């Protein structure tokens, strides 16, 4: 089943075309990485998919439920109540975490399940403890975000997103704000989610990681999908833009 489907997505900011007719679909259990140079529209695509940005044109659906459709060449979105229901189907992990600084780790994770989804408290707390265990943060439940390292914060943010049981989990450059040591611990967690067959869309600059965990890799360049395929197809492609892009990594 297609968990996410978006077609003919166009988006411009002040006359600058950031996305030029992009389509993306993600199957159940699939791990898709989006790579590409800065300014290629990766993050904008993610923000359109997560309803943080409205598309100029394009349709968007989760598990067959439409969030936006193209009418006369423009995107028309569903009513807010419908969009709220669709928002439950996905989660997003931000580059800079966006944890709530005045909440403890535990409250960051449990507050939305309890007060938005109205689930029973004990069940939510039990699940949250399980998630923290999985994230290697079992001893941090009463800590505040300011007492944690960046890597720990990002793992809390992942647990917070998972606590709502999303069908698709998006990552927007989850390790770009972290040093190499902390990057490793976050990637390890994402890798374990991939092994659990959680459907994920990951915008990343970690090439080895993308190659390793993805079922499919999308290389974006200049607002279009320049290349798409299995990791080996993409990373071993002769596409000159891809070779040039990877060349920058080889030189570092």
Edge-to-edge strand ranges of the sheet holding 199-203: 90-93, 168-172, 199-203, 31-35, 216-221, 224-229
- Binder of other proteins out of 152, 160, 199, 213 (CB under 8 A): 160
- From the number of C-beta atoms within 10 Å of its C-beta (0-12, 13-18, 19+), residue 97 rates as buried
Phi then psi dihedrals of residue 94, to 5 deg: -85, 160
- Binder of other proteins out of 76, 116, 138, 208 (CB under 8 A): 116
**Smallest distance from other proteins to CB 115, Å:** 7
**Which positions ≥6 away from 197 have C-beta within 8 Å?**
29
Tokens of 241: 């833009």
**Smallest distance from other proteins to CB 104, Å:** 9
Are 10 and 59 a contacting pair, CB within 8 Å? no
* Site track for other proteins across 91-110, x = CB under 8 A: xx-x-x-xxxxx--------
Tell me: does residue 87 bind other proteins (CB under 8 A): yes
Tell me: does residue 23 bind other proteins (CB under 8 A): no
Tell me: does residue 78 bind other proteins (CB under 8 A): no
- From the number of C-beta atoms within 10 Å of its C-beta (0-12, 13-18, 19+), residue 121 rates as exposed
Tell me: does residue 112 bind other proteins (CB under 8 A): yes
Tell me: does residue 42 bind other proteins (CB under 8 A): no
Q: Dihedral sign, CA of 10, 14, 18, 20?
A: positive
Helix locations, 51-104, DSSP H: 80-87
Number of residues that bind other proteins (CB under 8 A): 26
* Site track for other proteins across 51-70, x = CB under 8 A: xx------------------
- Binder of other proteins out of 5, 21, 27, 88 (CB under 8 A): 88
Tell me: does residue 138 bind other proteins (CB under 8 A): no
Residues at the contact surface with other proteins, assessed by CB under 8 A: 50-52, 84, 87-88, 91-92, 94, 96, 98-102, 111-112, 115-117, 144-146, 160-161, 164
């Amino acid at each position: 089943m297609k968990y996410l489907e978006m077609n003919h997505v166009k988006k411009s900011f002040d006359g600058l075309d950031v996305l030029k007719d992009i389509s993306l679909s993600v199957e159940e259990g699939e791990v898709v990485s989006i790579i590409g140079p800065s300014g290629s529209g990766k993050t904008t695509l993610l923000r359109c998919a997560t309803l943080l940005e409205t598309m100029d044109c394009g349709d968007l659906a989760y598990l067959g439920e439409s969030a936006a459709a193209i009418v006369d060449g423009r995107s028309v979105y569903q009513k807010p109540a419908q969009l709220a229901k669709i928002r439950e189907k996905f989660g997003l992990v931000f580059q800079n975490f966006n944890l709530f600084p005045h909440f403890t780790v535990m409250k960051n994770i449990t507050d939305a399940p309890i007060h938005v989804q109205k689930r029973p408290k004990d069940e939510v707390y039990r699940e949250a403890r399980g998630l923290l265990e999985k994230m290697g943060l079992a001893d941090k439940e009463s800590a505040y975000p300011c007492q944690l390292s960046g890597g720990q914060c990002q793992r809390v943010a992942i647990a917070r997103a998972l606590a709502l049981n999303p069908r698709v989990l998006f990552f927007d450059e989850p390790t770009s704000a972290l040093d190499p040591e902390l990057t490793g611990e976050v990637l390890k967690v994402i890798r374990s989610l991939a092994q659990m067959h959680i459907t994920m869309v990951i915008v990343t600059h970690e090439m080895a990681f993308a190659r390793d965990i993805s079922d499919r890799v999308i290389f974006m360049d200049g607002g279009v999908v320049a290349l798409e395929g299995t990791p080996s197809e993409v990373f071993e492609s002769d596409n000159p833009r891809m070779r040039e892009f990877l060349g920058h990594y080889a030189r570092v």
